[in-house]
Amino acid sequence: MTNNSKLVELYILMKRIRTFEERVSELFIKGHTAGSMLHLSIGEEIAAASMGKAMLKNDSFTTHHRGHGIFLARGGDPKYMMAEIAGKKDGYCKGKGGSMHIADMKLGHLGSNAIVGGGIPTVIGAGLSYKYQSLPYISVAFFGDGAMQQGILYESMNMAALWKLPAVFCCINNQYGMGTKVDRAVGLKDFSGRAKSFGLNTVHITTLDVEKAYFKAKPIIEDARNGKPGFIEIECYRFYGHARMDKSLYRQEKEEKKGRKEDPITFAKNKLINNKLLTIQQIYQLDLVISNEMDKAMNFAIKSPLNSNREIFKDVFDNDKPLPTSIKARINKILNS
């Protein structure tokens, strides 16, 4: 595949991720999402798209709580993803995981984890199993800059380097951990330097150009496949609040305006036009197809049935044990004894 067609592919993927999350946001406003927390990656699509395309079939990954884009980039079906976020029966985990806990082993998604840094060590297990079985796959842990302060990352990087595992640690540095700017959370921002000191191959991606990001990430991924684990930091900007209801009052309007101007999708669109790869009309047509795809996914999620009361407990508790009784039944039992 030529570089030119790669940019078209990457643009389409970023646009699909953005549109998917815009519809998820709509789903939330309409009261169709399960639970109150929803973390969008609008503005950060360059990370999911470049990494998602640079990984190969059968490679696996874990994500943090902001992982919709990564799952979509790895082949997640927007219909079943949206149904999961809505807590419906047709969701990837029958609606029992929701936005923050989607997983699908068939697509190599080893789980999303809401504990900051919690998904990182899983890739050590996956990497070890690939090495042990001589399988040509890698496993990637996706996490935010907040996880750079978690000890488990350093234990995992050390083991990956020591055992020469096919593992990659990908830090999506969106500049914030909830309301705390990264400058106020770390003494030294040289994340790659930290990883290098453990013996990892590193790259620090600061561009808005998704194509460049892809070509910088690819060799790190392929080196990992050959037993040299890697660390990739991708800088971007979280356009909106930490979660859907966060109005990010801790940020200056001026900063947000500047951050939102640095949009990887707008950058890719301009590059496509300037390099005469696509016309404005062709991009408009592509965007329309994507918009229709995500409308269908949203309607699918809304129409998907809820689980029955009995189904809700399945796969959550040990299936061989009796189901827990309701709190009301337990209180009545005490009162009547």
Ligand X SMILES: Cc1ncc(C[n+]2csc(CCOP(=O)(O)OP(=O)(O)O)c2C)c(N)n1
Q: Which residues bind ligand X (CB under 6 A)?
A: 64-66, 114-116, 143-147, 174, 176-178, 242
Q: At closest approach, how far in Å is the CB of 40 from ligand X?
A: 10
Contact 170, 232 (CB under 8 A): yes
Q: At closest approach, how far in Å is the CB of 178 from ligand X?
A: 4
Q: At closest approach, how far in Å is the CB of 143 from ligand X?
A: 6
Place of tokens 């309007």: 253
Q: At closest approach, how far in Å is the CB of 144 from ligand X?
A: 2
Contact 79, 297 (CB under 8 A): yes
What is the rounded distance in angstroms from the CA atom of residue 42 to the CA atom of residue 25?
10
What is the rounded distance in angstroms from the CA atom of residue 159 to the CA atom of residue 150?
15
Backbone angles phi, psi at 322, to 5 degrees: -65, 150
What is the rounded distance in angstroms from the CA atom of residue 141 to the CA atom of residue 254?
33
Q: At closest approach, how far in Å is the CB of 255 from ligand X?
A: 15
Whichever of 145 and 233 has its CB closer to ligand X, that residue is: 145
Whichever of 186 and 312 has its CB closer to ligand X, that residue is: 186
Whichever of 115 and 316 has its CB closer to ligand X, that residue is: 115
Residue 153 tokens, joined: 């990352």
Cα 138 versus chain centre, distance: 17
Whichever of 72 and 147 has its CB closer to ligand X, that residue is: 147
Whichever of 39 and 269 has its CB closer to ligand X, that residue is: 39
Q: At closest approach, how far in Å is the CB of 308 from ligand X?
A: 31
Whichever of 116 and 200 has its CB closer to ligand X, that residue is: 116
Q: Is 321 exposed, middle or buried (0-12, 13-18, 19+ CB in 10 A)?
A: exposed
Q: At closest approach, how far in Å is the CB of 186 from ligand X?
A: 11
Whichever of 61 and 176 has its CB closer to ligand X, that residue is: 176
Q: At closest approach, how far in Å is the CB of 151 from ligand X?
A: 10
Q: At closest approach, how far in Å is the CB of 147 from ligand X?
A: 5
- Name every residue whose Cβ is closer than 8 Å to that of residue 160 and which is 6 or more positions away in sequence: 123, 124, 127, 167, 169, 198, 200, 229
Task: Report the residue number whose CB is nearest to ligand X.
Answer: 144
Whichever of 108 and 177 has its CB closer to ligand X, that residue is: 177
Contact 63, 112 (CB under 8 A): yes
Residue 318 tokens, joined: 């040990």
Whichever of 10 and 116 has its CB closer to ligand X, that residue is: 116
